[in-house]
Amino acid sequence: MFPLQRGRRLRTNESIRSLVRETSLSPADFMFPMFITEGENIKVEIPSMVGIYRRSIDLTVEEVKEIFALGIRAVNLYVKVSENLKDNTGLEAWNPNGLMQNAIRAIKAACPEMIVMPDVALDPYSIYGHDGIIAKGDIENDSTNDALVKMAVSHAQAGADFVAPSDMMDGRVLRLREGLDAAGFHNVGIMSYSAKYASAFYGPFRDALDSAPVDATEIPKDKKTYQMDYANRIEAIKEALWDVEEGADMVMVKPGIAYLDIVREVKNAVNVPVTVYHVSGEYAMIKAAAERGWLDHDKIMMEQLMCIKRAGASLISTYFAKEAAILLNK
């Protein structure tokens, strides 16, 4: 029988395609990860992340104003801590006058409507490069949680809108919620890195913060005892559900493109917004391939971001945020 239904009728031209398009992107769908360093008037490009910089607070504030004008409404903050401030306790992480705390205050003073989500994990502050406190050759879960609470409360005191625990310690969302509430920060939210996999895609990020685990016989050589095994799917759903039960306002899947099946599974399982981190390695691969002329940079950038949104992301943390916003605004 000659087809009565012809799918191509809805693909005839761009006007028709735009009418029936199921997924759309806007700058408000993006969160921009930003790296902050000490000093003034400092802007240093990260070699493995072309176009991404470590900035001092003054230049970070200027960049925040610029991306807010483009329609981006959230930033995820990371700090590069001086070596002399690192130890095995994370003490500098809750210094009220620390780099992160000062950055939060400066951003909120200059751009109050920008949603600020500082990273909560000890690896930038650790002499070992791990997300928690080392004891007896392993990452100690519960004492790490105690440190994370102090860190999160200090971020809230500085003006953070959300805290973003990326450490993958068991029970840390509940401890953070209890700690924030006890300190009077009932309206400060938690965006939990719920399904954070032990991925090789994080390499450029660790270059940016100098936060890779150190090579020492007395400590774990990698983060596989707390970050998830990338062979697992059901575990991601379980972790996300636990975090929601413990008080997470948003959950995150990380990395992005290689884990879109997990994004959809988590989206179907939870009743809170799902954030996806389009990570440094995914960014760097596109940049490298585009530089060699193997891919059309803008087309593949937008395709990947659209696919992440289509899979179920409410918010995409991506190093492409500014470039994509500029393109969308055109």
Of 86, 196, 287, 322, the catalytic one is 196
Instruction: Pinpoint the alpha helices (H) of 81-202.
Output: 99-110, 141-158, 172-182
Instruction: Identify whether 223 is a catalytic site residue.
Output: no
Of 86, 223, 254, 287, the catalytic one is 254
CB 240 within 8 A of CB 194: yes
What are phi and psi for residue 9, nearest 5 degrees? -60, -35
Query: 107 is written with which tokens?
Result: 């951003």
- Side chain identity, residue 315: L
Q: Is 239 assigned a ligand-binding role in the annotation?
A: yes
Tell which residue, 116, 139, 321, has the closest CA to residue 227: 139
Instruction: Identify whether 287 is a catalytic site residue.
Output: no
Strand, coil or helix: 209: helix
Query: 324 is written with which tokens?
Result: 């994509």
Neighbours of 319 (CB within 10 A): 28
Tell which residue, 238, 207, 198, 258, has the closest CA to residue 78: 207
Cα–Cα distance between 141 and 209 in angstroms, integer?
23
Catalytic site positions: 196, 254
Q: Which residues contribute to the annotated binding site for Mg(2+)?
A: 239
Query: Annotated binding residues, as ranges?
Result: 239
